[in-house]
Structure 1
Amino acid sequence: MNKKGVLGVEDKIEITAEDLAEPLSYPVDAFVSPEYARAERDLLWPKVWQMAGRLEDIPEPGNFITYNIMDESVVIVRTGPDTLKAYYNVCPHRGRQLVNTPDDVNCVRGRKQKFVCGFHGWTYDLEGQNTHILDKEDWKGALTAERTCLSELNVDTWGGWIYINMDPDCEPLIDFLGDVARILQPFEFEKMRYKWRQWVIYPSNWKTAIEAFMEPYHVAGTHTQLLKYGEFYAYSKAYGLHGVSGFDERDPALRKAGGTSVTRAGGGKGTDPRVSTYELARENYETVNYAASTETLVNAARRLVDELPEGTSGPDVVKHWLASARADDAARGVIWPDITPAQMSEAGLAWSLFPNQTILQGVTFALCYRARPYGDDPNKCIFESYALERFPEGQEPKTEWVYAEPTAEKWGSVLAQDFSNMEWVQRGMKSRGFRGTLPNPHQERKVTNFHRHLSRYMGMGAPRLLKK
């Protein structure tokens, strides 16, 4: 029997940002309720900025991509060298999609100078204006430009990503992003390009999937092979709708405000930091599908035992390693951005952008995730991951979205470990024996902040303080 209220939560109407540091609980309807899943269609997705693609997807005028969210479909087209338009993917005549979007395709890409409806041939230019209607005179002048143009929605860009918003009264994207844009600007994501991109229809709610990457608290229990590089004590911090996480000092006396973004490079108790730095760089590269580091960084780390004397301190090893990698990249035409230690510390290791975008950033690379609903089924989602990297001009690989089953062979062993939890969390939350969530107030604060803001859009499911 599920004992409702057994956790003992405070009956506080509104959770504040300060409350996020306290023990909280949030209900599971957001993950398992069919009614909640259907309500997202009207209460959440039409109201938020959503990452819909990358500018490199549509490099030339006439290039377009589609983006689907639940039963909405959007076409984003480059109309000029520096201009984009976003339209609902529907002909205003009888409602046919202008671009077919099969369920077994992640998104549709192409190039057109006009969009022609496959039903009756109504035609639209890149600016969304109707340019051809067969026998238009039959409508006796009723077909005005306002009635026959494509329905437009908001589109904007940041960091090389394309964002759309269906709300005509939405705030500007830069305001929606808030501190995220300022803190991550030094990384110049717009200069990175796809290395690979994969997707899968996964048996969990989209929130179950994306929350698996909102906190590093799970490292000790899920990615146990990493424990040899030292203890992993996570921090998690809210920035408005969004949040950042990283690794902190376990000793409170050593911590800095907001987390220190401790790296395990050069770490590992009783180990030679020259060796452990290489081992960790290689581990991150090879087990995270060649996305959580770069070949340049791994090769520079491999040389440390030859370039530095035994007994070199961990910080000096890391300093030499990064300087060598930077020089190696410069020699092949990859210029690192100038990011100060203070900026690196503030940026942390991983960002969650509300509602469904995740960025794990490095100086010259990023591993990114997105999860979307699969229709209105609360037990399925479209899960996507892609790697970005800086490449020499013109040497970036040609990539497409590849459907990949959630195995270590396809995704790497670390992501396979994450997949090994998500489905079973989804199932477990339905149990009558599950009394409610107990997120870590320090290390999983991004998760509770996510639910705090999600509940404001949805009008239900707000976190509640646990009685002490």
Structure 2
Amino acid sequence: MATQPKPAGPLPKLRPENYLSREFARGENEHLWGKVWLVAGREEELKGVGDYLTFNVANESIVVARGKDGLVAYHNVCPHRGRRLADGCGRAQQFRCKYHGWTFNLEGKNTQVLDRHDWEGALDDERLDLWPVRVDTWGGFVWICMDMEGESLAEYLETIPQYLDPFELQEMRFRWKVELHLQVNWKVALEAFMEGYHVAATHPQLIQVAGNDYTQSYAQGKHAHFGYWKDVQPLGTPSPRLATKGFEDPREGVIEFFRQIEEDLNAIQTDRDYEAAKRIREVLPQGTDAMTAMVTAIELGRQAAIEDGTQYPEALTFEAMAQAGSDWHIFPNCVTLPYFDGALWYRARPDHRDPENPDKCIYEIWSLKRYGPGKEPKVETRIITDPTTESVGLILDQDIANMTEVQAGMKSSKFRYARPNPVQEMEVINFHQTLERYVLGQSTGGI
């Protein structure tokens, strides 16, 4: 069950050490990453037997592949001298160590040891095969867990499938992928997308057409979500915070909302939805109210999806969408914003090249979309090492601009703790309470 948005007792105060301390980063490396289920990639990346990808987090590297009988995952390390076996992604029928040639099949079994006779049979009593890692799927994502005896993925996800299964994330495919190398803690990056409290200040252009931008957030076990459940106001109209009536023709406000999401974010909704929304000028008379215009735009988007060879998910009713809310934090390091036709997915982790440095992270942004059969594009990851010189789009650029200023500002001698909003930032509060139970053994519950 979801917890109430305002916690009982003293208001939470988040320790800056959680973001800035090398000791805390070491604690995450030791007690967090190896104990939880993590998204390693998408099923669409592993279509054929031998397709593989590597996933690095902290000091660990995992290779995930499609074997003859399904997905398999192993620690990406040769048991001979420790060299990593694979890098990036590709297709292979075996993994061969480039150092001394030890070779392993897709089932993780050692098939060759160069000059094995030198051990005079002693290797028969030693481990020769790759160390297995648990692997499972949900929502079209490939999940791994290095803890061989922990809870199953279904148990770990708790209530998430109940809320998000209607979106049929498994039917979506990559629209684009970006990998950012940031000089901030992985939590600072992730938390930029874990609350809607920042929208009015960070994205002032959005509240011109986003309706009521006031959010409520709730914990769902170790995970959490937020939504726009209070005083619901149609998209395409201005926030009540603004002293403006918005567009004279409400249809134009709805179209502008879809335009901003498509052109300035290029995710969640899709190009197909934007083109469909523009058709409300043709099918609705001038002056039609914003709610009718929005519902009509969504229906036109559904029709466009069917014409394109796909369709909106049947179980995703307006009621189911309202219950799910707008944004989910999936503990520890993912956030998603799903919609009928697409979704935005974020994944954060320490920079594996310097895993104890709390001032570095790798932050990935994936735009997903429903495509007709065979119409999905071939997508390469765009790597950005300096986001000040390359744009990810207006909305994301605005979010990223906050991150380095937050990381630097928390180092001030006057900054003793963060004071998250107890109603609108429950995702952040619940995140740290859960994180501290893994890293410290208990939640500090504030300072």
Global fold match (TM > 0.5)? yes
Q: Is the 8 A contact 2:3 2:218 kept in 1?
A: no
**1:90 partnered with 2:77:** yes
The residue identity in structure 2 corresponding to 1:412 is G
Q: 1:11-410 to 2 correspondence within 5 Å? A: 21-22=7-8, 23-80=11-68, 83-99=70-86, 101=87, 108-144=88-124, 147-229=127-209, 230-249=211-230, 254=231, 264-265=235-236, 269-271=245-247, 272-288=249-265, 290-338=266-314, 339-374=316-351, 375-404=355-384, 405-407=386-388, 410=391
**Residues 1:402 and 1:424: Cα distance change in structure 2 (over 3 Å):** same
Displacement, 1:29? 0.7
Displacement, 1:465? 5.6
Q: Is the 8 A contact 1:33 1:378 kept in 2?
A: yes
**Structure 2: gaps spanning 5 or more residues:** 240-244
What is the CA–CA distance in structure 2 between the aligned matches of 1:310 and 1:17, rounded to whole Å? 43
Secondary structure at 2:303's aligned position in 1? helix
What is the CA–CA distance in structure 2 between the aligned matches of 1:78 and 1:270, rounded to whole Å? 52
Displacement, 1:136? 1.6
Q: What's the CA shift string for 1:304-345, capped at 9, x where partnerless?
A: 122211232222212211111111221121211111122111
Secondary structure at 1:155's aligned position in 2? strand
| Identity score, percent | 41
Where do 4+ consecutive residues of structure 1 move more than 6 Å?
none
Q: Which moved more, 1:205-214 or 1:313-322?
A: 313-322
Q: Which moved more, 1:441-450 or 1:324-333?
A: 324-333
Q: What's the CA shift string for 1:109-160, capped at 9, x where partnerless?
A: 1111111111111111100001111222222222237610011111111011
What is the CA–CA distance in structure 2 between the aligned matches of 1:219 and 1:443, rounded to whole Å? 11
Q: What's the CA shift string for 1:388-412, capped at 9, x where partnerless?
A: 0011111111012111242585300
Aligned-residue Cα RMSD (Å) equals 1.9
The residue identity in structure 1 corresponding to 2:42 is R
**Residues 1:270 and 1:221: Cα distance change in structure 2 (over 3 Å):** closer
Secondary structure at 1:435's aligned position in 2? coil
Q: Is the 8 A contact 1:274 1:301 kept in 2?
A: no
Q: What's the CA shift string for 1:406-435, capped at 9, x where partnerless?
A: 258530011000011011111111111113
What is the CA–CA distance in structure 1 between the aligned matches of 2:234 and 2:155, rounded to whole Å? 31
The residue identity in structure 2 corresponding to 1:340 is T
**1:438 partnered with 2:419:** yes
Identify which of 394, 398, 402 aligns with 1:421: 402
**Structure 1: gaps spanning 5 or more residues:** 1-15, 102-107, 255-259
**Residues 1:68 and 1:116: Cα distance change in structure 2 (over 3 Å):** same
**TM-score, with length taken from structure 1:** 0.88
Displacement, 1:266? 5.5
**TM-score, with length taken from structure 2:** 0.92
Count of aligned residue pairs for this structure pair = 432
Partner of 1:451: 432
Secondary structure at 2:417's aligned position in 1? coil
